[in-house]
């Protein structure tokens, strides 16, 4: 009897970037050359204005639309809102709080997370309106399964199942003035990255890990994950990590862009601070942006 092949690593679906004000986020992301989708409301009091990429990943700037609804959702066990509130309380209104992975079965993922001892709570099913590029209003539905580690209170992970995949044309929203076509890598930080190796292996569904002097790395289904120590943050992001606090933190996103040669001019015209490190342009985190953005040639 032939054994079934192992499941492939999970694919990164989107990055959750809390912000105090979606208007600020929209202006910042537009200045960076991104096309930002119309604002969409969640039924539990938050709202987003997403940036979609051709590789089927996206950024989710997330704001609080109705605080009372968020507080009620948190009281009744909505893990997504609970973790968003905790992040804002501990880290401020702007940042990078969560990384989502695509799945076809969130319920099964929840059982796997329970078995691995990393479940962050009950699954969440919800729907929200989605506005197509043609102006049609449709209902998108999702189910989420959550994973986290008590040693890392400022980050969580979840898998996202699209219960009714919408046959919509997002090509207009996936075209960006800065030429970005997708997410190439997500950067996390921790003083001793190997302490969280097993957590990330279970979340990503990836056994193979590369260890190096700056931390460790692994491949998700469509991009990389890098966990950097203080030396790695200094070398790759030009960031001095002045805190002694332990725990994983989401720090940066590496984008592949077909317009790399024109980025310096675009950023200077927009008054955006950046540095050149190796073959990348690095834009430090800012209000409405949440994380360091790194751009490299596609």
Write the pLDDT tens digit of every residue in 9-61.
Answer: 999 999 999 999 999 999 999 999 999 999 999 999 999 999 999 999 999 99
For residues 80 and 128, the answer to whether their CB atoms sit within 8 Å is no
* CA 242/CA 264 separation, integer angstroms: 29
Per DSSP, the residues of 3-28 read PPPPPPPPPEEEEEEE-S-HHHHHHH
Same fold for the pair 12-162 and 180-297: yes
Q: Sort 76 into a burial class: Cβ within 10 Å, 0-12 / 13-18 / 19+.
A: exposed
**DSSP bridge partners of 211:** 216
Secondary structure letter of residue 195 according to DSSP: G
For domain 180-297, the question of CATH label 3.60.15.10 is answered with no
Helix (H/G/I), strand (E/B), else coil: 165: coil
Nearest partner of 101 among 151, 162, 46, 176, judged by Cα: 162
**DSSP bridge partners of 128:** 140
| Arithmetic mean of pLDDT, 183-196 | 97
| Band of pLDDT at residue 150, cut at 50, 70 and 90 | very high
DSSP helix, strand, coil percent of the chain (3-state; round to 5): 25, 35, 40
* CA 284/CA 18 separation, integer angstroms: 16
* CA 235/CA 219 separation, integer angstroms: 21
Segment holding 143, helix H or strand E: strand 137-147
Nearest partner of 289 among 60, 123, 8, judged by Cα: 60
| Per-residue pLDDT at 140 | 83
Domains of the chain by residue range: 12-162, 180-297
| Per-residue pLDDT at 99 | 98
| Arithmetic mean of pLDDT, 60-89 | 97
| Arithmetic mean of pLDDT, 228-245 | 87
| Arithmetic mean of pLDDT, 81-104 | 97
Nearest partner of 62 among 20, 33, 120, judged by Cα: 20
> Structure tokens of 167?
């046959």
Superfamily the domain 12-162 falls into = 2,3-Dihydroxybiphenyl 1,2-Dioxygenase, domain 1 (3.10.180.10)
| Per-residue pLDDT at 5 | 55
């Amino acid at each position: 009897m032939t054994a079934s092949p192992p499941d492939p690593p999970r694919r990164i679906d989107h990055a959750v970037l809390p912000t105090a004000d979606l208007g600020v986020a929209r202006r910042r992301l537009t200045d960076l050359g991104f096309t930002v989708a119309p604002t969409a409301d969640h039924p539990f009091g938050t709202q987003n204005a997403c940036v979609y990429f051709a590789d089927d990943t996206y950024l989710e700037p997330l704001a609080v639309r109705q605080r009372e609804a968020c507080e009620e959702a948190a009281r009744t066990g909505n893990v997504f809102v609970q973790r968003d509130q905790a992040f804002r309380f501990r880290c401020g209104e702007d940042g990078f709080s969560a990384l989502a992975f695509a799945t076809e079965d969130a319920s099964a993922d929840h059982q796997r997370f329970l078995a691995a001892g990393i479940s962050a709570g009950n699954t969440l099913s919800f729907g929200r309106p989605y506005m197509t590029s043609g102006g049609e209003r449709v209902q998108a539905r999702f189910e989420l399964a959550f994973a986290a580690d008590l040693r890392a209170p400022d980050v969580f992970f979840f898998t996202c199942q699209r219960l009714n995949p919408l046959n919509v044309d997002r090509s207009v929203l996936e075209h960006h003035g800065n030429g970005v076509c997708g997410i190439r890598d997500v950067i996390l930080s921790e003083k001793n990255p190997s302490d969280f190796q097993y957590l990330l292996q279970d979340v990503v569904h990836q056994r193979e890990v590369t260890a190096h002097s700056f931390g460790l790395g692994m491949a998700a289904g469509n991009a990389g994950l890098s966990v950097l120590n203080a030396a790695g943050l200094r070398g790759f992001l030009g960031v001095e990590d002045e805190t002694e606090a332990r725990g994983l933190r989401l720090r940066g996103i590496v984008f592949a862009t077909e317009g790399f040669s024109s980025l310096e001019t675009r950023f200077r015209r927009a008054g955006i601070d950046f540095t050149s490190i190796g073959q990348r342009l690095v834009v430090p985190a800012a209000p409405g942006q949440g994380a360091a953005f790194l751009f490299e040639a596609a």
